[in-house]
Amino acid sequence: MFEWNPLNLPDASLHHWIMAIVAGGLGFIIGYISRQGLIGQLEGELASTERDLDDCQRAPVVPLASAGGADESAVLNRIRSRATEVNFDRIGRATATDADDLKDIVGVGPFLERKLHAIGIYTFRQVANFTKEDIDKVNDIIEFFPGRIERDNWVGQAADLDKRK
């Protein structure tokens, strides 16, 4: 019936070359776009991992203490030596005779209370006066988990407890 063969056309090989070049170009463009997407995803994961690493490096190293004793006093002495870094002009000054029971704040236990006392924080009023900068500084000095003071809302709890007393 039809004896027409497109491969017998004089420019058939030219058409094949053009189609091959177009297919190669499209393949290159699609590959480039997908590679850029993968690179963006990997860079995001890298940034996230670097933030996690920075958080781990800033987290305090807590020595395994047997029953407290010498290890606890070493920690308290180390903390006490950094007490001058706290801005007491902003949060207020207090002495051990003015001390409130800081353990009433959820998240503060006996050892953490001793750490706070070691740097001169004794009252709910002082904790209630914390700013973001104070929270970060105290968190670093007492070697506490980053962000924990804010998560437990020490400032709000301390303000409520100070009003009640």
> Given a cut of 80, is residue 9 above it in pLDDT?
no
The alpha carbon of 76 is separated from its chain's Cα centroid by a whole number of angstroms, namely: 25
For residue 38, CA distances in Å to 32, 41, 51, 102, 131 come to 10, 5, 20, 50, 41
> Given a cut of 90, is residue 10 above it in pLDDT?
no
Q: What is the pLDDT of residues 90-134, one digit of tens each?
A: 899 998 888 999 999 998 989 999 999 999 999 999 999 999 999
Q: Let me know: does 122 contact 159? Beta carbons within 8 Å.
A: no
Task: Pull the structure tokens for residue 146.
Answer: 């980053």
Q: Let me know: does 99 contact 117? Beta carbons within 8 Å.
A: yes
